[in-house]
Amino acid sequence: MAEKDKFENSLEEAGEGQLTVDVYQTPTEIVVQAPIAGIHKDDIDVEATSESVTIRGERKREEKIEESDYLYQECFWGRFSRSIILPEEVDPDKAKVYFGKNGVLTVRLPKVHRGMARKLQIRADE
């Protein structure tokens, strides 16, 4: 069996496609970007913990196309997901998610800097 056939069969058996992502960091946050064209933002679910982020969704085909009519079929249609273990702790309560008109989902997760000193405000005794 060809490698391509093995890959396609494993996707069918799992019933889900794996979303492709880019993950990078800045000094203050970890950023996850995923191109998700052909889907409405309401069909995407993003969950974050202090250690990971999971993106799930479903790309629905708007018209029925017979298998025999395809000349090429490289796009994945159906449910997809991706979980990413993050390299350092983030604050999920302050995470922000954007879905651009260009079909790119961006998740911005602020890093938790536990070792950094912060200036504390001194209050007068009452």
Domain ranges of the chain: 18-61+72-126
How confident is the model at residue 17, as a pLDDT? 83
How confident is the model at residue 44, as a pLDDT? 92
Lowest-pLDDT choice from 6-10, 17-21, 83-87, 105-109? 6-10
How confident is the model at residue 12, as a pLDDT? 45
Distances in Å between the Cα of 8 and the Cα atoms of 11, 16, 67, 74 are 5, 11, 14, 10
Amino acid sitting at position 79: R
18-61+72-126 CATH choice from 3.40.109.10, 2.60.40.790, 1.10.287.610, 1.10.287.40: 2.60.40.790
Confidence tier at 115 by pLDDT (50, 70, 90): low
How confident is the model at residue 126, as a pLDDT? 65
Looking at every residue in the chain, the average pLDDT score rounds to 83
pLDDT tens-digit readout, 37-67: 888 888 899 999 999 999 999 988 778 888 8
CA 18, 21, 26 angle in degrees (round to 5)?
155
Distance (Å, whole) CA 86 – CA 51:
5
Of the two residues 28 and 60, the one the predictor is more confident about is: 28
Tell me 42's DSSP state: G
Tell me 29's DSSP state: E
pLDDT tens-digit readout, 66-93: 888 889 877 778 899 999 999 999 999 9
